[in-house]
Structure 1
Amino acid sequence: MSFPRAKSPRQLYDEVRSYDRVITPDGPLASALNRHLDRTHLGPFAIPPRRLAAGRRQESEDRLAFLGMIDHEDVSWKRCAYAVGNILQCWEHQGSHDAIFEYDAYVDDATERAVERIADLETASMKLATETIDPDLDVVVVEPDMLTRLERAYLPAEYDAVDLFTDARFELPPFRIHDSPAAIVETVIGAVSDANADNVGIVLDRESEYSPLIESALEAAEIPFFGGPGFTDRSEHRLFVHLLRTAHRGTDTRLSEIRSLLTAFGVDVDVADEDKRLHELDDAELAWLNDFCRDIREYTFSDALSAFERRVDGALDSFRAELEKLGIVDERVTEARVDDLSFYLQTYDVPVERENEGVLLADAKSASYVGREVVFYLGLDDRWTHSAPRRPWVDRDAQFTRNFESFQLLLQSGGQQHYLVQDSTGGSPVTPCLYFEELLDTEYDRFSDLPATSHQIGSTQRPDDGFEKSSIDAPVETVETISKSSLNTYVNSPRDYYFSRIVDGPEKAYLTEGDLLHDFAEFYANHPKAVDETVLAEVVDLMLDDVRPLIRSVDERTRRTEYRASLETIVSYLDANPPTDGAFLTPSSGGDNAVAAHFDRDVDSPVTERRFTDEELGINGMIDLVQSTSALLDYKSGSEHSAKSIVKHAALSEPTDEPDFQALLYLTYWRSQTPDERLSFTFFYVTELVDEVIAGSDSGDSDSDDSDSAGSDSNDSGSADTASDVAVGDDGDSVSDVDLDDALTTVTYYPESPTEHVRREEFFEYLREEGAQKCRKVLSKIDYQTYAALFDAAPLVETTDSDELIESAFGETMIDRFKAEIGEYKYVTTGSEQVMRKITERQQAAFFKSDLDAFESFVDERLTELNRRRAGDEPFPVEGLAGEPNYRRVDNRDLLLEGER
């Protein structure tokens, strides 16, 4: 593929060598021509018009005009910058400094004052507008169309023009596709050295990821470079502004939000503390930062900068000088002024002094030519495309032509061009710079659609291989058992499971709260008589102290109320449903208990926090409460889930995107301890009733059945079996009765098949009592023997789909036999269908022997697969058994690479 070739500097020089002045559209191109000058020449030879008019390197006019405005006018910085930017841009495109007045929508008081100020400045633009090149000189212009209207106004009445491009063709070198920006930078650094640095140029988008990567790599390799980071990019300058912003963030600032700041100051942040609030951490390393934030409103910018300089042990003289130019060095560090300072640094290029030696870094949107022998182009994506200003004074077609020809020239800079690109990122194709559409007569969507070669450094990894296999010959520890949380994560996304084993996560408020509620429940189950009003208040304080760094300060009062209500809910349940004697169990300790430690008591009951590890079954876990020999209980925070939902998300053959195997796993283990028994697993959602408890406690005092406690009325009704009043001390308040059933979800295991279960007389009686109206009516007209005979007449389809059961041979048999027994009534068909829906509902909300048997096999399969992947025999894929993972349940989202790579 080819496009018109640009003339080389040598070719251009041969065409223009006889002229007195050569006007070029680009400074580096002018420098390249000047290097070929082979005769004595009076004054400049090749030069851009703006530099010729200024007679020297001109500082940024928009910055100079802005500084002049804020020094003499009382106008906001953003409004000032907007007005100055419009004036100078309109001037460039229309040729007159007051041309902005022709566009009423862009004229206001600030604009009028800015025009006056700009008119008084000695700038290159004013000379371009009011002067012309000496008409006695023999002038030639290289590619006049690349000059702006203001630059053309500076040209003499008569001049010659030279085309920059020829009829010859430039053959586009193939794009070199790499896997990542890091791989691209590694390629460049491998080709550059201190010896050849002066011959190398690198073109990139200064706002892209390539800029900091290449700068860091060059510094690490001790290769000199220039043209890279500017005033604002200097790490110490950015760090100071970041510090000022942090000081105004308020008391809810999280360590994760200022990690880069802390790292720069050499403060090591524990991953577990990342979500904690800075102002709630009593850490000696953070004391200086807390003091700085607390005192920030007393500081001037000079004071703050001095404090920062003491901390980094270095002087920021250039930054202090810039603060003086802005006139704020002695002003208070208000949040508004910090916003102004940030805006200024982001808007204007502050000049910096540097040596022009080494590798040249050129911005893809500013440079038109790079005068180096070897030029690397990094990225070349759609971010290289200029966005023409959307202003009425801009000729967009002319602007596009200038940008396009500039890009065309830039691509041909140097004797060797190397185009280093990515074909995709994050699973999405990378779109090449849109100017290629004009240059190349072909259709394409990505770089691989164009002439390209693929380069992968040090890897034979295929795009779909997952992780590259390790070549290290080291023994791999076999995983013998898996917990419910690990199994849930693994089934959702094996790769997320992998990272969860090697990457620590920050402490979360909801996890800390859950742990403390568990600890209190265990403590109360062991020492119910030790808990009174004072103890409850202390536990609430303990919880709040532990959680305070993780929550907003404005939420503390709400949390305190919620904690108290949750604790009282736990007390209420355990008072109404105390665990049975645990003599049948061996003593077991689940681990540390913060509440028990606070009150200096042991928690050694055999029925609480029982840790189990069963290598034969391949599972491990922690049972919160052994309610009885056949009943287990687990404390949960959050909203209640139905038994049907719990069974659904424990599906093995068709896993859901919210896998949860806790009930299934714990019941499988407990079955091994108590075989052939009906078992239950209850989820106790201790925070489910918080709103109800709070509402009840606010409704007023009333008498209580307990003479030692006071109560309050509630609109909720309860029974002796499901609710109790909470006595919290001789003189304390009590909480009204609440229906604890609303916070309980029980899943039952039946040690038999679904068929055996639903044909039992017990289930028949359940249908008579709990079935729908016509279900009860139908069954009231037959006896159990008629019902049981159905299962001998046709096999029951063990399904959770009621329509499938109704349409099966069993369903037809039931309807036919009931009609024969009762009569040809419409309600018989309806009632029979209601019976079958109840049968499927039982299977939807309970586990049976086959379910637990299948789960044992399922765990064996997952452990075998898991250990195969741990050994490196196959990768840990992103997708789980249900396909694409549920990313709301992924803990390491940023570490998961998905799609095409």
Structure 2
Amino acid sequence: MSLTQSKSIDRLYREVADYDLVVVPDSPLADALNRRLERPHFGSFAITPRRLATQRRETAEDRTAFLEVIDETDLGWKEIAYAVGNVLQCWEYEGTADAVIKYEAFDTVTTRTIVDLVSSLPTSSRLLAEYEIEPSSDESVAVVGERQLTNLEQSILPDEYDSIDRFTADDFELPPFRIFESPAAIVDALLDTISEENADDVGIVHDVGGEYSPLLESAFETAGIPYYGGPGFMDNRDHRAFVQLLRRTTVGSDTRVRSVKPLLTCLGATVPVDHDEKCLVDVNDPEIEWLQTFTKQANSLTFGDALEAYENRTGRTLEAFREELERLRLLEEPITEAAIDRLTFYLETYEIPVDRDNDGVLLADAKSASFVDRPVVFYLGLDESWTHDSPSRPWVDRDEEYERNIDSFQSLLQSGVDQYYLVQDTAGGSPVTPCLYFDDLLEQEFERFSDLESVRHARTSRQTGNGFRQEPLESAVEPTRVETISQSSLNAFANSPRDYFFGRLVDGPDRHYFVEGNLFHDFAEFVVNHPEFVDDERIEEVVDVMLEEAGPFHRAVDLETQRTRYRIGLETIREYLEDHAPDDPTFLLPSDGWGTNFFAEHFGREVESPVTERWFEDDELRLKGKIDLVQSPTHLVDFKSGGRSSASQVMKQGSIDEPSDKPNFQASAYLAYWRRQHPDEHLEFTFFHFLETLDDVVAGEATLEDCLTTVTYRPVAFDEFVQSETVFDELQEDAANDCNKTFSKTSYDVYLSAFDIHDVPRTRNADEMAASPFGETLLEALLEDVGDYKYVRKGCMQAFRHLCGYRKEGYFVEDLDRFERFVDGQLEELNRYRRGEDRFPIEGRAGEPNYRRVNNRDLLLADSGPDRDGAQDAHSSKTQAADAANSEVRR
């Protein structure tokens, strides 16, 4: 792998040392040559054309021109910025200020106005156009990298000068690309090498708008390593926060707390994660009061007032921001959405100069630098983000521009004495495409960095420096075993073990369905305890209370809709409990209850019924949970605010043999526990979806049955059950027509004969049962006994569907036995991960997680290698945190 050899800075200096004036294309190269000057010199030695013409440090003239023009015209800021950019850019390429007007598409009244104004301003382009290096017989001039100068810059050159090429005729052998697994791993490698002592010898080239900038700045600040050239004006957290504060005044009442968390942090407000999903204006928290008050008063404030209020609140002064507001004539202007839009546009469009110390690691932009004067230079990424976007304008020769960029790229890659190219080969499971310029510079074909000469680096734990050093524990920590698990945690573990793991570590915000669900459940418990107390008037009061509690999660325009939803849900719960009042609870032992009941406290009444909110924890079964309602000794009820599933769907979701992407083991878990309390009993578990008929209630067509899904448990084996006379009688009387007709013409002995020869398969699929030896034997027996008629064959198939239907609507002894063994196996697997014997995997029992059901999506980095997201490195230390957080969620 080779490029054209770029001359080293020392060689370049030797070639130009005897000249009186050296014109170079960029400031870093000029500064590097000036630092090597070994003789007294009057005036400029190495200098860029613009600095030579203006005799000042180069500034962003487009911003300077924009600031001047907005004071002179009534044009819109976006219109001005667009026209100023075109005029200055065309001036750069064509050499005259009015050159843009010769292009018909750009010959507008606005453009002519801008040309007249900009031509009269002391911009660097105007001074450059008016400047010319005076020829002198005793003064020698050299031009380095002449091809990289624009037409306007070349216009100042004298008739006689020497052109010095930046490249030699030799080849430069590229060092190998060093492939890392993630940007974090690259930054870790840098911290292994860079220290406070050697920071002045290091340069880092990267895309300043990419992901490396915040990682580098954070890492260096943490490690105490000085750096410069990185953060811009809007990288200052107070500047960003102040703009967000201004935006807060115009976005309305639906802003969620999570969207202003960075602002609240800058304001010194610590807000619990519980409030994240609530509307900011409705949160009752003293930490938020200042922001709420400011927002209400903002329509009477100016930008200056707002800035002063922010400074008083934070105790920090934003002088640089105040100066920009004054330049823009916004300081005394009232806060309006239009004014905020103008300010935001300006801040996003122009780079505002920042005063900073020039000490430490030099952070250089891959798209603006062509030379870095440091002994050691690291290049990060080198991917598509390094490719320049050539201006799409008629005055730009794109081929010539591309060649200019190629030269800059080649020169940049050879900066320093030692060069290190740190890259990723894949990102997010997809190959990383190297910078486009490599296609022209390298002769071999490639699609990714690993196709070129490269070295892979595994991520290692750093043991030096101050940044992220890990302190070993003094003694090994044995993680606490998880002995019991709730059905909700079992569902989460089955969907994605890693999401379950992070769920034990990371606090999540309250959500409307949690708050509403708890209130509905508390109401149901209260109704069971005080059915006579809950009349229509009480329900309206409960609706008001629920709106007060859950209202902060909803937009103001949705509150009336929520009121209707709450009222219908509450009335449906009351109706169900009136029609299905729980049996005499004397068969139950007193219960310690579960927590408190919101409505019992609100109405000042006790809830003491043992049939509601019964907590259980069975160490032998290794399950725990809360039963909403024990309707009878053999019937459990669970209240659900979500959408209804049929019994067959519930069975499918709780399947062990065929894992579902919507795992739900609640029915099997609760029935497994309850059968131990009531062995040899036929049990029922009902999901009561009290909001299922919301639309039907509004239309006046609702029935309670549409809200109910019941799963059964029969205390008998499936094959024993289907051989019973009870089932045979159902096939004669309660199955489909042809089945009834067929089995009415045969005997119970004929039916049993098939079971004597073959076992009935454990399947919920009628076709599979029909194709099994048992199915074929039963069909043959019926054809022989009843006759080879079409209705017999059809009736036998209907019988298979009927038999499979029992397994689609409930469990048998062997099903719950297998479920109990499954729980044991899942807990052993979970504890194996907790001991650190393996990582908590992302994929669950059904393969890729159902991401609609994960709670920590941002923490699940798919397609990760063994150390991709750091979970392996962090696992041992986080196990302790998992032990501390090992409390199962209520629901």
Same-fold status (TM-score > 0.5): yes
Per-residue deviation at 1:672?
A: 0.9
SS at match of 1:828: helix
**Amino acid in structure 1 at the alignment position of 2:323:** A
**Residue equivalent to 2:743:** 779
Choose from 581, 585, 592 the match for 1:578: 581
**Residue equivalent to 2:622:** 618
Q: Once the two structures are superposed, what CA deviation does each residue of 1:873-899 show, in whole Å capped at 9, x if it has no partner?
A: 222111112221111111111112331
Per-residue deviation at 1:784?
A: 4.1
Distance (whole Å) between structure 2 residues aligned to residue 193 and residue 172 of structure 1: 26
Please say which of residues 639-648 and 48-57 is displaced more in the overlay.
Answer: 48-57
Choose from 717, 721, 743 the match for 2:707: 743
**Amino acid in structure 2 at the alignment position of 1:800:** R
Distance (whole Å) between structure 1 residues aligned to residue 96 and residue 725 of structure 2: 99
Per-residue deviation at 1:135?
A: 3.5
Please say which of residues 112-121 and 341-350 is displaced more in the overlay.
Answer: 112-121
Q: Is the 8 A contact 1:174 1:453 kept in 2?
A: no
Distance (whole Å) between structure 2 residues aligned to residue 254 and residue 301 of structure 1: 24
Q: How does 1:51-130 map onto structure 2 within 5 Å?
A: 51-130=51-130
Q: Once the two structures are superposed, what CA deviation does each residue of 1:726-781 show, in whole Å capped at 9, x if it has no partner?
A: xxxxxxxxxxxx31110000111122222222232322333344433322332343
Per-residue deviation at 1:573?
A: 0.7
Distance (whole Å) between structure 1 residues aligned to residue 685 and residue 270 of structure 2: 44
**Residue equivalent to 1:515:** 518
Choose from 315, 319, 322 the match for 1:320: 322
Query: Against the structure 1 CA distance between its residues 604 and 401, is the aligned structure 2 distance closer, same or farther, given a 3 Å change threshold?
Result: same
Q: Is the 8 A contact 2:206 2:363 kept in 1?
A: yes
Distance (whole Å) between structure 2 residues aligned to residue 835 and residue 150 of structure 1: 91
Q: Is the 8 A contact 1:4 1:170 kept in 2?
A: yes
Query: Against the structure 1 CA distance between its residues 325 and 657, is the aligned structure 2 distance closer, same or farther, given a 3 Å change threshold?
Result: same
SS at match of 2:793: helix
Query: Against the structure 1 CA distance between its residues 777 and 104, is the aligned structure 2 distance closer, same or farther, given a 3 Å change threshold?
Result: farther
Distance (whole Å) between structure 2 residues aligned to residue 211 and residue 300 of structure 1: 34
**Residue equivalent to 2:381:** 379
Instruction: Please tell me whether residue 143 in structure 1 is matched to residue 149 in structure 2.
Output: no
Instruction: Please tell me whether residue 878 in structure 1 is matched to residue 842 in structure 2.
Output: yes
Instruction: Please tell me whether residue 844 in structure 1 is matched to residue 848 in structure 2.
Output: no
Q: Is the 8 A contact 2:178 2:454 kept in 1?
A: no
Distance (whole Å) between structure 2 residues aligned to residue 516 and residue 337 of structure 1: 44
Per-residue deviation at 1:683?
A: 0.4
Distance (whole Å) between structure 2 residues aligned to residue 830 and residue 220 of structure 1: 76
**Residue equivalent to 1:47:** 47
Query: Against the structure 1 CA distance between its residues 527 and 403, is the aligned structure 2 distance closer, same or farther, given a 3 Å change threshold?
Result: same
Q: Is the 8 A contact 1:21 1:46 kept in 2?
A: yes
**Residue equivalent to 2:602:** 598
SS at match of 1:285: coil
Choose from 367, 372, 392 the match for 1:365: 367
Q: Once the two structures are superposed, what CA deviation does each residue of 1:516-549 show, in whole Å capped at 9, x if it has no partner?
A: 1111111101110111122111211221111112
**Residue equivalent to 1:266:** 268
**Residue equivalent to 1:486:** 489
With the length of structure 1 as denominator, give the TM-score of the two structures. 0.91
**Residue equivalent to 1:712:** none
Distance (whole Å) between structure 2 residues aligned to residue 821 and residue 195 of structure 1: 97
**Residue equivalent to 1:824:** 788
**Residue equivalent to 2:310:** 308
**Amino acid in structure 1 at the alignment position of 2:30:** A
**Residue equivalent to 1:721:** none
Q: How does 1:150-229 map onto structure 2 within 5 Å?
A: 150-229=152-231
Instruction: Please tell me whether residue 627 in structure 1 is matched to residue 627 in structure 2.
Output: no
Distance (whole Å) between structure 2 residues aligned to residue 695 and residue 562 of structure 1: 14
Please say which of residues 31-40 and 510-519 is displaced more in the overlay.
Answer: 31-40
**Residue equivalent to 2:818:** 854
**Amino acid in structure 2 at the alignment position of 1:27:** S
**Residue equivalent to 2:295:** 293
Instruction: Please tell me whether residue 533 in structure 1 is matched to residue 536 in structure 2.
Output: yes
Distance (whole Å) between structure 1 residues aligned to residue 371 and residue 508 of structure 2: 48
Distance (whole Å) between structure 1 residues aligned to residue 495 and residue 862 of structure 2: 14
Distance (whole Å) between structure 2 residues aligned to residue 430 and residue 659 of structure 1: 36
Q: Is the 8 A contact 1:175 1:419 kept in 2?
A: yes
Query: Structure 1: which 5+ runs fail to align?
Result: 461-466, 697-715, 717-737
**Residue equivalent to 1:670:** 674
Distance (whole Å) between structure 2 residues aligned to residue 865 and residue 795 of structure 1: 33
**Residue equivalent to 1:279:** 281
Choose from 340, 350, 353 the match for 1:351: 353
Q: Is the 8 A contact 1:176 1:455 kept in 2?
A: no
**Residue equivalent to 2:768:** 804
**Amino acid in structure 2 at the alignment position of 1:782:** T
Q: Once the two structures are superposed, what CA deviation does each residue of 1:185-218 show, in whole Å capped at 9, x if it has no partner?
A: 3443454444444333222221123223333343
Distance (whole Å) between structure 2 residues aligned to residue 468 and residue 529 of structure 1: 63
Distance (whole Å) between structure 2 residues aligned to residue 379 and residue 63 of structure 1: 30
Q: Is the 8 A contact 2:276 2:509 kept in 1?
A: yes
**Residue equivalent to 2:723:** 759
SS at match of 2:423: strand
**Amino acid in structure 2 at the alignment position of 1:254:** R
Query: Against the structure 1 CA distance between its residues 105 and 774, is the aligned structure 2 distance closer, same or farther, given a 3 Å change threshold?
Result: farther
Query: Against the structure 1 CA distance between its residues 98 and 740, is the aligned structure 2 distance closer, same or farther, given a 3 Å change threshold?
Result: same
Q: Is the 8 A contact 2:192 2:462 kept in 1?
A: no
Per-residue deviation at 1:155?
A: 2.5
Query: Structure 2: which 5+ runs fail to align?
Result: 464-469, 869-891
Please say which of residues 85-94 and 317-326 is displaced more in the overlay.
Answer: 85-94
**Residue equivalent to 1:247:** 249
Distance (whole Å) between structure 2 residues aligned to residue 195 and residue 273 of structure 1: 45
Q: Is the 8 A contact 1:488 1:660 kept in 2?
A: yes
Q: Is the 8 A contact 1:90 1:97 kept in 2?
A: yes
Q: Is the 8 A contact 1:470 1:872 kept in 2?
A: no
**Amino acid in structure 2 at the alignment position of 1:507:** D
Per-residue deviation at 1:506?
A: 0.6
Distance (whole Å) between structure 1 residues aligned to residue 806 and residue 474 of structure 2: 52
**Amino acid in structure 2 at the alignment position of 1:582:** P
Q: Is the 8 A contact 2:4 2:171 kept in 1?
A: yes
**Residue equivalent to 2:501:** 498
**Residue equivalent to 2:10:** 10
Q: Is the 8 A contact 1:240 1:305 kept in 2?
A: yes
Q: Once the two structures are superposed, what CA deviation does each residue of 1:757-816 show, in whole Å capped at 9, x if it has no partner?
A: 223232233334443332233234334444344433543223222212222233233333
Query: CA RMSD for the aligned pairs?
Result: 2.3
Q: Percent identity?
A: 52
Please say which of residues 775-784 and 308-317 is displaced more in the overlay.
Answer: 775-784
Per-residue deviation at 1:222?
A: 4.3
Instruction: Please tell me whether residue 336 in structure 1 is matched to residue 300 in structure 2.
Output: no
Per-residue deviation at 1:42?
A: 4.1
**Residue equivalent to 1:447:** 449
Per-residue deviation at 1:492?
A: 0.9
Distance (whole Å) between structure 2 residues aligned to residue 412 and residue 572 of structure 1: 80
**Amino acid in structure 1 at the alignment position of 2:156:** Y
Choose from 459, 464, 474 the match for 1:456: 459
Q: Once the two structures are superposed, what CA deviation does each residue of 1:36-91 show, in whole Å capped at 9, x if it has no partner?
A: 33334443222222222222223211112211221121122122212222222222
Paired positions, count: 855
Q: Is the 8 A contact 2:303 2:330 kept in 1?
A: yes
Q: Is the 8 A contact 1:590 1:611 kept in 2?
A: yes
Per-residue deviation at 1:220?
A: 4.1
Per-residue deviation at 1:441?
A: 2.9
Distance (whole Å) between structure 1 residues aligned to residue 594 and residue 708 of structure 2: 23
Q: Once the two structures are superposed, what CA deviation does each residue of 1:290-332 show, in whole Å capped at 9, x if it has no partner?
A: 1111111111111111111111223222222211111121111
Q: Is the 8 A contact 1:273 1:507 kept in 2?
A: yes
Query: Against the structure 1 CA distance between its residues 126 and 479, is the aligned structure 2 distance closer, same or farther, given a 3 Å change threshold?
Result: same
Choose from 833, 854, 860 the match for 1:869: 833
**Residue equivalent to 2:876:** none
Per-residue deviation at 1:680?
A: 1.0
SS at match of 1:638: coil
Q: Is the 8 A contact 1:200 1:360 kept in 2?
A: yes
Please say which of residues 219-228 and 554-563 is displaced more in the overlay.
Answer: 219-228
